[in-house]
């Protein structure tokens, strides 16, 4: 499967001289992304495209080719696949649409038999292909000017739908989320979600796997694979088509039989796959699971400088079944001498709007050493004037504290706040703008490690 | 009540020369915001602060004073209030904390009796005060460098907690949401949420009211006021302290008795106040209610260029009880001639990633003229290369279409997308990044007008 993400040689079949054509955009993106392998544009009518020599067919190339991207009209694909087979190409990414998703089942069958005949593996058809942030293999046919590519990271994203994948990659790259590999697999004629999950499960660059699926042809295979992978790394999944109306829509999108929400939820739970209700949850969960260690239990201590945010976070944490214990008398006494008299030392610890950076330091030390606390939800509203830039160092020290308790930050605000939250996330501490999103993420973190036992 | 938001003359009691003190920040912010009334700093130890002449007490001022902000320690407030009463000041904003929220009930009673004696109205204590985007009355004691102020708009925000209010104002100002008035009212010793709701209900600048409450002392008063106001304009509310743990936390924050979620939900429903589960919902709802007209019914037609987003939106809309009808045969036939053969013309109408701006125009025309459609959920993923800047004009025409159907946009992406969504929102069309958030907002829009009947 490595050849799908970092091939040593790659043919782009359907490479075009016209800037708006898919085959042109793919070739251009591979060059822009600094693809490390050898590139071969295929087009019988061109000599050169983007300064690369062009070939009429893969059969005209003397060197060995590992992988081919096919971006030609559906009707041409059987003949092209035959040539790929004859050339000894082993891996195909077929972005072309117009198969079973529009009722063209015969053509899909024809393609399938050619794949079998030559023992080729294929991603697609009707997909966006792959993106590898390390190898520069970027065959998404969306221009870099419109879609920001992520920096290299440890989250990988398997996405049946190309649009869901690419639009969220774009949004999250802007929010500085980093990715290892991305793959949109469309109709899943050959390579399916289970194959990709298995591969990424063993990929050393991937620490977290996000999954968007519309339909699953072999549910048992997926569950068995997931059960195995989730022992090693978290898998978070969102399911499109969980309602009757949604399921009807999947048929014309990726020709998938959707199945009900209840079946998927139960199967995911059994395999310890975290079920995300929304796309926003999917990536909020990925962030906490990327950055936080295993919590020892469900007890969360809130520290805040905004009473209302402490209350909203308390409500959300309670709703999701997490526990808020009162600090011990010893902790209270120790802390009372070090914070302002208006501070409320319960759970939440409300340091009030007059909080200083030093008081945050004391409060963090107290709760990291408190036995009743498994996780710390640190609310830092940076608008209050006495918080100094040293808050970053204090959060860094807390992150490195020997207790290794997960620390999650809520910080809500505009540009000034964002300047800080970027730095805090660089330390490996996840930040959220809204209390409810943080609480849902904490629940996902706890569930993953608790269910893994 | 107007004197709380746009007083002609304002005394800042506790004005300080030290840049980090609350009394300094308030005075500086009023000057920065271009406050249009006359300003009087009060400090017995200073001659001038920020180039304004300073007075030892309000009694030393010859001119009439409408409103006073008090930012001195709690113990000094009774004597100061007495002076305000003698001076004939009618409106007080007391930001000072240290009253019933930390068990200091006696002091709060003393203050209450002085207010009664002189017939003064007061916001606070333990609050952040008011912000009026039109008058420049900005007494939030948080520096402009840390907290971005909103541009003038039509949403007003009544917020018991100062931190919740100010941090979200900051976040939303960055996202270009605009506000008319903001008020944080703290312990609500005199002026409470009902008084503020009544005032903003009659404020011509305010078209939407957002409300964050922790506790309500007079529930019947609030319900009666809300019932009246929601006939004229939408009120959206979030409640802090809806769980047992959350309710305990409200006691030490604003000394509020919180009450259960069920009671609040029922009371809100009866008064047609939209209940927001989360802060994110609160402002997502405000945005749709600000920008969209009344929908005639619950039938939503989705148009998309990303199949997966269409499916996720379908799932969410169905979950919230909205209806997705199949387009009529006539519409299908008309549209089939004008879009690409791969397009799926159902609900969603999936124009696919190869969509052109022109095809969006046809699809919008078709659904705006379709009788089975009450609202349009328009998904435009701008990463696909054939969408041109004319998409903005097409959305503008759709917004102005004689059918006056609400149009809601989902567009997910980074900087390129944001450049467009800002323009679309300027047209008065709300944009969301995540399908589920858009669907929840559509549900709120429908509920408000449906329940108002």
Give the model's pLDDT for residue A65.
Answer: 97
Contact A174 B280 (CB under 8 A): no
Residue numbers of A between 258 and 317 with CB closer than 8 Å to B: 277-280, 304-312, 314-317
Share of chain B above pLDDT 90, in %: 83
Give the model's pLDDT for residue A252.
Answer: 67
Query: What is the Cβ-side half-sphere exposure of residue A211, based on CA atoms within 13 angstroms?
Result: 29
Name the phi and psi angles at A125, rounded to 5.
-75, -175
Give the model's pLDDT for residue A27.
Answer: 94
What average pLDDT does range B142-168 have in this prediction?
A: 91
Cα of B286 vs its chain's centroid, Å: 6
DSSP A339: S
Alpha-carbon distance of B227 to B210, in angstroms, equals: 15
Q: Tokens for B262? A: 């069920």
Give the model's pLDDT for residue B256.
Answer: 59
Q: What order of strands is seen across the sheet that includes strand A38-42?
A: A38-42, A9-13, A67-70, A91-94, A121-123
Alpha-carbon distance of A253 to B208, in angstroms, equals: 39
Give the model's pLDDT for residue A249.
Answer: 80
DSSP string for B101-140? GGT-HHHHHHHHHHHHHHT-EEE-SSS-EEEETTT--B--
Alpha-carbon distance of A216 to A254, in angstroms, equals: 11
Residues B354-387: pLDDT tens digits?
899 999 999 999 999 999 999 999 999 999 888 9
Alpha-carbon distance of A113 to B376, in angstroms, equals: 43
Q: Which of A161-170, A374-383, B242-251, B298-307 has the lowest mean pLDDT?
A: B242-251
Indicate the pLDDT class of residue B145, thresholds 50, 70 and 90.
confident
CB A376 within 8 A of CB A344: no
Query: What is the Cβ-side half-sphere exposure of residue B66, based on CA atoms within 13 angstroms?
Result: 13
Give the model's pLDDT for residue B103.
Answer: 86
Name the phi and psi angles at B333, rounded to 5.
-65, -45
Does pLDDT of B253 surpass 70?
no
Give the model's pLDDT for residue A253.
Answer: 67
CB of B240 within 8 Å of a chain A CB? The answer is yes
Q: Element (H or E) spanning B301, and its range?
A: strand B300-304
Give the model's pLDDT for residue B255.
Answer: 64
Indicate the pLDDT class of residue A257, thresholds 50, 70 and 90.
low
Residues A310-367: pLDDT tens digits?
999 999 999 999 999 999 999 999 999 999 988 999 999 999 988 999 999 999 999 9
* Closest to A195 in 3D by CA, of A411, A390, A50, A2: A2
Which residues in chain A have Cβ-Cβ distances shorter than 8 Å to B167? Answer: 306, 309, 381, 383, 412-413, 417
Give the model's pLDDT for residue B222.
Answer: 93
Share of chain A above pLDDT 90, in %: 83
CB B351 within 8 A of CB B340: yes
Q: Mutate which of A129, A212, A278, A308 to test chain B, going by most B C-beta atoms within 10 A?
A: A308
What average pLDDT does range B29-44 have in this prediction?
A: 94
Contact B163 A353 (CB under 8 A): yes
- CB burial of residue A276 (10 Å; 0-12, 13-18, 19+): buried
Residue numbers of A between 28 and 57 with CB closer than 8 Å to B: none
Give the model's pLDDT for residue A259.
Answer: 63
Give the model's pLDDT for residue A329.
Answer: 95
Indicate the pLDDT class of residue B165, thresholds 50, 70 and 90.
very high
Average pLDDT score over chain A: 93
Q: Mutate which of A241, A309, A311 to test chain B, going by most B C-beta atoms within 10 A?
A: A311
Taking phi over 0 as left and psi of -120 to 50 as alpha, with beta for the rest, A88 belongs to left
Indicate the pLDDT class of residue A255, thresholds 50, 70 and 90.
low
Give the model's pLDDT for residue B141.
Answer: 86
Residue numbers of B between 60 and 89 with CB closer than 8 Å to A: none
Residues A175-225: pLDDT tens digits?
899 999 999 999 999 999 999 999 999 999 999 999 999 888 888 999 999
Give the model's pLDDT for residue A357.
Answer: 97
Does pLDDT of A282 surpass 70?
yes
Alpha-carbon distance of A211 to A225, in angstroms, equals: 13
Does pLDDT of A384 surpass 80?
yes
Beta strands in B199-289 (DSSP E): 208-213, 235-239, 274-275
Give the model's pLDDT for residue B265.
Answer: 87
């Amino acid at each position: 499967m490595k050849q799908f993400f970092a091939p040593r040689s790659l043919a782009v079949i359907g490479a075009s001289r016209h800037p708006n054509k898919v085959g042109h955009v793919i070739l251009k993106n591979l060059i822009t992304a600094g693809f490390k392998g050898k590139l071969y544009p295929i087009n019988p009518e061109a000599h050169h495209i983007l300064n690369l020599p062009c070939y009429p067919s893969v059969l005209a190339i003397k060197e060995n080719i590992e992988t081919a991207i096919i971006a030609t009209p559906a009707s041409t694909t059987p003949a092209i696949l035959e040539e790929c087979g004859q050339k000894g190409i082993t891996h195909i990414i077929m972005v072309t649409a117009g198969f079973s998703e529009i009722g063209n089942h015969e053509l899909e069958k024809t393609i399938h038999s050619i794949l079998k005949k030559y023992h080729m593996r294929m991603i697609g058809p009707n997909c966006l292909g792959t993106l590898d942030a390390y190898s520069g293999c970027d065959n998404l046919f969306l221009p870099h000017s419109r879609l920001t590519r992520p920096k290299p990271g440890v989250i990988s994203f398997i996405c049946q739908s190309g649009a869901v994948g690419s639009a969220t990659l774009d949004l999250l790259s802007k929010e500085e989320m980093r990715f290892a590999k991305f793959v949109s697999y469309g109709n899943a004629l050959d390579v399916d979600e289970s194959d990709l999950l298995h591969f990424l499960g063993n990929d050393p660059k991937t620490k977290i796997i996000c999954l968007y699926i519309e339909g699953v042809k072999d549910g048992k295979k997926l569950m068995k694979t997931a059960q195995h992978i989730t022992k090693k790394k978290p898998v978070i999944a969102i399911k499109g088509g969980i309602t009757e109306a949604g399921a009807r829509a999947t048929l014309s999108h990726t020709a998938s039989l959707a199945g009900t929400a209840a079946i998927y939820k139960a199967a995911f739970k059994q395999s310890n796959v975290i079920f995300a209700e929304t796309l926003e949850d999917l990536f909020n969960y990925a962030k906490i699971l990327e950055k936080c260690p295993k919590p020892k239990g469900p007890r969360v201590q809130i520290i805040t400088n905004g009473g209302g945010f402490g209350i909203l976070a308390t409500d959300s944490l309670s709703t999701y079944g997490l526990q808020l214990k009162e600090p011990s008398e010893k902790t209270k006494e120790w802390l009372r001498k070090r914070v302002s008299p208006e501070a409320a030392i319960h759970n939440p610890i409300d340091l009030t709007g007059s909080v200083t950076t030093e008081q945050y330091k004391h409060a963090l030390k107290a709760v990291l050493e408190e036995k009743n606390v498994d996780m710390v939800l640190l609310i830092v509203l940076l608008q209050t004037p006495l918080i100094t830039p040293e808050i970053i160092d204090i959060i860094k020290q807390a992150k490195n504290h020997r207790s290794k308790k997960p620390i999650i930050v809520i910080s809500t605000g505009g540009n000034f706040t964002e300047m800080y939250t970027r730095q805090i996330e660089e330390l490996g501490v996840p930040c959220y703008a809204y209390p409810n999103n943080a609480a849902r993420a904490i629940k996902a973190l706890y569930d993953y490690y608790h269910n893994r036992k």
